[in-house]
Chains A and B, each alone.
Chain A
Amino acid sequence: MTALTADNLSKTFAQEQAVDGVEFTVKNGEFFALIGPSGCGKTTTLRLLAGLTTPDSGVIQVGGTEITDQPARHRPTNMVFQDLVLFPHMTVAENVAYGLKQEGIAAKARAERIETTLSLVGIEHLATRNPKQLSGGQQQRVALARALATEPDVLLLDEPLSSLDRALRGEMEAEFRRIQRESDTSFLYVTHDQSSAMSMADRMAVMRDGRVLDVGSPEELYERPRTRFVAEFLGDATVLSGRVTEVGSQVTVDTPAGTVSADKNGKDVSIGATGSVMIRPESVALGSGSISGTVIDHAYKGFFEEAAVELPGGEQLLVRRGDDSTHDSRSTEASSDADDTTTFAVGDELALQITDAVLVEG
Chain B
Amino acid sequence: MTNKSRRLRDSAIAGVPVSLALTVGVLPMIVLFIESIGPGVTTANYREALGPLYRGTLVYSLGVGIIVTGVCLAIAYPVTYWVAHRCSSRYRLQVLIALTLPLWLNYVVLNYSWVWILARGGLLNRILTDIGLINRPLDLLYTDVSMFIGFVYIYLPYVILTLYVSMERLDYRLIEAARDLGATNRRVFIDVILPSTLPGATAAALIVYARIAGAFATPAILGGPGNVMIASLIAEAFRQYFDYGFAAALSFVFLFIVVIALLAGGAIPQVREELRQW
> A residues within 8 Å of B by Cβ?
50-52, 71-75, 77-79, 81, 83, 85, 87-89, 98-99, 102-103, 146-147, 150
Q: Which residues of B185-199 are within 8 A (CB) of A? A: 187, 191-192, 195-196
Q: Are A150 and B182 CB-contacts (below 8 A) given A89-B196, A98-B191?
A: yes
A150–B180 contact, CB under 8 A? no
A81: chain B residues at CB < 8 Å are 173, 176-177
Residues of chain A contacted by B29 (CB below 8 angstroms): none
Q: Which residue of B lies closest to A50 (CB)?
A: B180
Scan residues 149-193 of chain B and give those whose CB is less than 8 A from a CB of chain A: 171, 173-174, 176-184, 187, 191-192
Residue from the list B171, B181, B191, B192 in contact with A73, Cβ < 8 A: B181
Interface size on B, residues (CB 8 A): 17
Bound CA–CA A50/B182 (angstroms): 12
Contact A73:B174 (CB < 8 A) given known A89-B195, A89-B196: no
Say yes or no: A71-B179 contact (C-beta < 8 A), given A85-B171, A87-B191, A98-B191: yes
Q: Are A78 and B180 in contact (CB under 8 A)?
A: yes
Inter-chain pairs besides A72-B180, A85-B174, A98-B183, 17 sampled, C-beta below 8 Å? A50-B180, A71-B179, A72-B176, A72-B179, A73-B184, A78-B180, A79-B177, A79-B180, A85-B176, A85-B177, A87-B174, A87-B192, A98-B178, A99-B181, A103-B182, A146-B177, A150-B181
Q: How far is the CB of B242 from chain A (nearest CB, A)?
A: 55
Do residues A52 and B180 form an inter-chain contact, with CB atoms below 8 A? yes
Please give, as numbers and ranges, the residues of chain A lying within 8 Å of B177 by CB-CB distance. 79, 81, 85, 87, 146
Closest-CB distance, A131 to chain B (whole angstroms): 12
The main secondary structure of chain B at its interface with chain A is helix
With a cutoff of 8 Å between Cβ atoms, the chain B residues found around residue A50 in the complex are 180
A52 contact set on B, CB distance < 8 A: 176, 179-180
- Residues of A within 8 Å of B180, CB to CB, are 50-52, 72-73, 75, 77-79, 147
Within 8 Å CB of A74, what residues of B? 182
Give the complex CA separation of A50 and B181 in angstroms.
10
Q: From residue A4, how far is it (CB to closest CB) to chain B in Å?
A: 15
CA distance A71 to B182 in the complex (A): 9
| Cross-chain contact of B182 among A73, A79, A85 (Cβ < 8 A) | A73
A77 to B179 alpha-carbon distance, docked (Å): 11
CB pairs A–B below 8 angstroms (10 shown): A52-B180, A72-B179, A73-B181, A78-B181, A87-B174, A87-B192, A88-B196, A103-B182, A146-B177, A150-B181
CB-CB under 8 A from B179, the residues of chain A are: 52, 71-73
Q: How far is the CB of B76 from chain A (nearest CB, A)?
A: 21
